């Protein structure tokens, strides 16, 4: 019962774009509704994309076929999808978690690079210790740095009334500038002549691959983070309080909730997720910090969070979807000679159609069987 | 839970239709087995009038070759994505030779893939290969600053104010070599010439590049060159403001036919067909291949209408000497712009000497450059 009220509150939160007014009787079959409406929207997006590529005189059926081959047509393709999805799962949480308290955070990219930078800064001095220790130190410091980064925006919002969307956007520029400053300055490996980078993490300390696959453990960290975040947000008192802040901060304050602390905690949690993604990028993929840490994972994460309707569990399949689109995008370029931007067009279409489909919630009588 | 979830009939039908459609699609990959597949990977758009286009022009030259199939992917960042793209080209397209063209693709991505796929040949632009690295990697690069030196000579003649501008991305050795060579070229023909230097901070920052160009023209600078990934913005902005341009990476003459003087270009259209035919014949391509005019790795854009006969003659003359490997650009005594001697009298930094420490890790600005380096 408490759960249902809370759902309604969070759905009406100022942060949820396209927030719906809870309707009476919209409670039966919510899972079916929450799954089928976005799926329908996805199908519509693919049809629209098909029409778009047809204008470029490319057969839409070829496009769909290559999308399947490129993203899930073979074990190789599927692993390609998983690898690409892995950072997005974590960066999406940086937007999705604070959204539960009504905050619109778009600074995942900044927390990502700061997390990666802090992780390598902490990992290098302890390199040589058992890999587990090195990775643990790196993960803790990376998450801590990301948490502090986004919590700054939470604090500014709560105590100074600074719009968190603007502040996180600007913090991202600062974060990337700081990264460049450090890897081109004090942290620079003098041997990295034409690509300024930090010293490299020894191979032994790198995060390994999941046995039997080509996918690193970062994927598992991401999924675990999502599950924990979901339980925290939807099955604990803290989560209930957080979503109440999102629903109506004044009411929450009147009810005696520590709004400031909750905002800090949730923004820190979101930042920690992006910081962990940055740490994984350094410790599993790049091995060192350089300007290429800022590759846009943080920005794509925003898109993933919105399409997942800010639900931590839904982030996982949506990130897979985006991983798959990315994985098949290359094949579209190579086989059909479509420009790389066509993948961006598809992402844009999905984004718009899914947001538009939010207005359909509660409109289908079929999902409200019980009231009849 | 006594009720069950009811799904609208239309949704079910749509779902079934979708499944039927998906299962009727042939998932096999049809490809003529006889073609040798060569893959190209670019870090930016391949029509950027810059670095990526120079490589795409090389790829276009391969498409004309018999029995060669070229597959391309653009805008691939220097992350795990390039690894995935390489594997995808190998696994799904059957590529046997890859040209991942961005400098930052080398470590760790190409190193990793080359170990994993020892039968695939990797050719990387950057000249980073060392003895320790896998033998199926080749790394090539051109000493393009020789062409920037020619740019400098032409600019020195063309400039009325003697004030030149250089829009640069980052203070790394390759960029500094270009800035210094350009300045020395200009000073060869006009000892009073100066080069105003502006670093934008990254390879592709169009807004900053435009701002830098505008502020240079405001200061009375009348010839501008650059080292950024895509010179397009600098070229167009400078031309609009009435300044002249020396290009970089590939020819930007089309963007500013009147104002374009000449340019330092990569000659991948010359190199790639050579490499690919060697590879197809089973000959070994050198693991480490560097050079400049002499080796045909770089070329000079044709002179524009504003280049005087005197300038043409002087530039051609120096270029001929460079082509004959009979000319040294960084020759002592050479002072940096703080008055410190960086190349002692009597010593030379031979430009094609890949082991020359001072050249490879260049960290100074010659006298005449207005700007400074981070410590």
**How many domains does chain A fold into?**
1
Assign residue A29 a region (left: φ > 0; alpha: ψ between -120 and 50; beta: otherwise): left
Instruction: Tell me what the mean pLDDT of segment B107-131 comes to.
Output: 92
Q: Is B225 helix (H, G, I), strand (E, B) or coil?
A: strand
Using CA atoms, how far residue A69 sits from A331, B84, B86, B89, in Å, is: 8, 14, 16, 13
What tokens appear for A28 in the block?
A: 């039966």
Residues with pLDDT less than 70, chain A: 1-28, 368-372
Residues A277, A115 contacting (CB under 8 angstroms):
yes
Among chain B residues, the shortest Cα distance to A331 is held by B88
Residue A293's region, left for phi above 0, alpha for psi from -120 to 50, else beta, is alpha
**What pLDDT digit, counting tens, does each position of B149-161 carry?**
999 999 999 999 9
Q: Give me B70's structure tokens.
A: 């070229």
* Separation CA A220–CA A223 (nearest Å): 5
Map out the domains of chain B as residue ranges: 36-142, 145-267+296-367
- pLDDT for B146-192, tens place per residue? 999 999 999 999 999 999 999 999 999 999 999 999 999 999 999 99
Fold category of B145-267+296-367 in CATH = Rossmann fold (3.40.50)
Q: Domain of residue A23: give its range.
A: 2-371
pLDDT of residue A369: 59
Measured between alpha carbons, how far is residue A217 from residues A279, A280, A284 in Å? 12, 9, 8
Question: Can you tell me the ipTM of this complex?
Answer: 0.78
A184–chain B Cβ distance below 8 A for any pair: yes
- Find the largest Cα–Cα distance for chain A: 73
What CATH number has the domain spanning B36-142? 3.40.50.2300
Of A287, A334, A369, the CB nearest to B108: A287
Residue of B1, B43, B107 for testing the chain A interface, max A β-carbons within 10 Å: B107
Mark yes or no for CB contact B84/A364 under 8 Å. no
Give the whole-angstrom CA distance, residue A268 versus residue A154.
8
**Which helix (H) or strand (E) covers residue A108, if one does?**
helix A108-126
User: Looking up tokens 């302890």, which residue turns up?
Assistant: A126
B18 in contact with A, Cβ within 8 Å? yes
C-alpha A353/C-alpha A306 separation (Å) is: 12
- CA-wise closest residue to A66 among A340, A348, A325: A325
Q: What does the DSSP 8-state code read for residue A283?
A: I
Condensed to tens digits (0 to 9), the pLDDT of residues A73-124 reads 899 999 999 999 999 999 999 999 999 999 999 999 999 999 999 999 999 9
- In this complex, the residue of B92, B103, B172 whose CB is nearest that of residue A331 is B92
In this complex, the residue of B5, B6, B374 whose CB is nearest that of residue A184 is: B374
Q: Do A185 and B14 touch (CB under 8 A)?
A: no
Contact (CB<8Å) B7/A32:
yes
Residue B360 has pLDDT above 90, yes or no: no
- CATH code where residue A197 lies: 1.10.3470
Q: Note the pLDDT of residue A37.
A: 87
The answer to whether B356 contacts chain A (CB < 8 Å) is no
Q: What is the pLDDT of residue B290?
A: 87
Q: What is the DSSP string of B69-97?
A: EEEEE----SSHHHHHHHHHHHHHH-EEE
Q: Phi-psi region for residue A11, left (φ > 0), alpha (ψ -120 to 50) or beta?
A: alpha
């Amino acid at each position: 019962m408490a759960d249902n009220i809370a759902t309604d509150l969070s759905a009406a939160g100022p942060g949820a774009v396209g927030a719906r007014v809870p309707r009476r009787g919209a409670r039966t079959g919510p899972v079916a509704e929450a799954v089928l409406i976005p799926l329908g929207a996805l199908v519509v997006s693919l049809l629209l994309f098909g029409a778009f590529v047809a204008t470029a005189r490319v057969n839409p059926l070829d496009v769909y076929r290559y999308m399947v081959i490129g993203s899930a047509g073979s074990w190789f393709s599927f692993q390609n999808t998983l690898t690409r999805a892995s950072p997005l799962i974590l960066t999406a949480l940086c937007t999705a978690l604070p959204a539960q308290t009504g905050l619109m955070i778009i600074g995942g990219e900044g927390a990502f690079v700061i997390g990666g930078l802090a992780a390598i800064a902490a990992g290098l001095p302890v390199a040589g210790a058992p890999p587990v220790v090195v990775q643990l130190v790196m993960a803790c410091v990376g998450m801590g740095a990301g948490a502090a980064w986004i919590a700054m925006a939470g604090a500014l919002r709560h105590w100074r009334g600074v719009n968190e969307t603007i502040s996180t956007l600007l913090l991202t520029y600062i974060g990337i500038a700081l990264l460049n400053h450090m890897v081109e300055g004090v942290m620079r490996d003098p041997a990295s002549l034409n690509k300024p980078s930090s010293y490299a993490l020894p191979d032994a300390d790198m995060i390994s691959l999941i046995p039997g696959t080509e996918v690193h453990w970062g994927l598992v960290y991401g999924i675990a983070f999502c599950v924990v975040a979901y339980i925290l947000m939807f099955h604990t008192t803290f989560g209930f309080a957080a979503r109440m802040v999102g629903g109506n901060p004044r009411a929450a304050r009147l009810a005696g909730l520590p709004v400031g602390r909750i905002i800090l905690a949730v923004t820190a949690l979101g930042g920690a997720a992006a910081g962990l993604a940055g740490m994984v990028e350094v410790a599993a993929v790049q091995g060192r910090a350089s300007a290429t840490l800022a590759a846009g994972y943080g920005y794509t994460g925003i898109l993933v969070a919105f399409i997942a309707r800010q639900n931590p569990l839904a982030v996982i399949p949506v990130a897979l979807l985006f991983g798959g689109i990315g994985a098949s995008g290359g094949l579209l370029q190579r086989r059909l000679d479509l420009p790389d931007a066509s993948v961006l067009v598809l992402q844009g279409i999905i984004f718009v159609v899914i947001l538009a489909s939010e207005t359909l919630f509660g409109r289908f009588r079929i999902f409200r069987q019980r009231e009849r | 839970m006594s009720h069950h979830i009811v799904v609208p009939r239309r949704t079910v039908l749509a779902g079934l239709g979708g499944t039927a459609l998906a299962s009727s699609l042939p998932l096999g990959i049809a490809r003529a087995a006889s073609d040798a597949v060569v893959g190209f990977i670019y870090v930016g758009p391949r029509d950027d009038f810059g670095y990526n286009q120079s490589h795409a022009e090389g790829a276009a030259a391969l498409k004309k070759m018999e029995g060669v199939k070229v597959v391309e992917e653009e805008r691939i960042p220097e992350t795990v994505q390039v690894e995935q793209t390489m594997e995808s080209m190998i696994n799904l397209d059957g590529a046997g030779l890859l040209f991942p063209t961005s400098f930052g693709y080398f470590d760790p991505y190409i190193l990793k893939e080359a170990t994993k796929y020892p039968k695939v040949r990797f050719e990387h632009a950057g000249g980073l290969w060392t003895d320790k690295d896998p033998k199926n990697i080749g790394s090539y690069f051109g000493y393009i600053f020789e062409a920037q030196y020619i740019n400098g000579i032409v600019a020195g003649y063309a400039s009325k104010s003697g004030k030149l501008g250089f829009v640069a991305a980052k203070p790394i050795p390759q960029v500094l070599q270009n800035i210094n060579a350009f300045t020395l070229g200009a000073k060869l023909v006009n000892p009073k010439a100066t080069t105003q230097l502006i670093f934008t901070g990254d390879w592709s920052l169009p807004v900053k590049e435009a701002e830098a160009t505008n502020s240079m023209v405001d200061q009375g600078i009348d010839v501008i060159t650059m080292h950024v990934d895509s010179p397009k913005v600098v070229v167009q902005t400078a031309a609009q403001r009435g300044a002249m341009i020396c290009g970089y990476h590939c020819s930007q003459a089309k963007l500013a036919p009147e104002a374009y003087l000449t340019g330092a270009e990569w000659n991948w259209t010359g190199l790639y067909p050579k490499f690919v035919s060697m590879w197809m014949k089973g000959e070994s391509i050198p693991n480490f291949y560097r050079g400049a005019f002499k080796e045909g790795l770089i070329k000079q854009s044709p002179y524009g209408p504003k280049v005087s006969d005197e300038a043409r003659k002087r530039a051609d003359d120096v270029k001929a000497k460079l082509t004959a490997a009979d000319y040294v650009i960084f020759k002592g005594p050479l002072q940096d712009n703080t008055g410190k001697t960086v190349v002692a009298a009597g010593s030379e930094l031979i430009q094609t000497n890949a082991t020359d420490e001072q050249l490879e890790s260049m960290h100074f600005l010659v006298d005449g450059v207005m700007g400074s380096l981070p410590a």
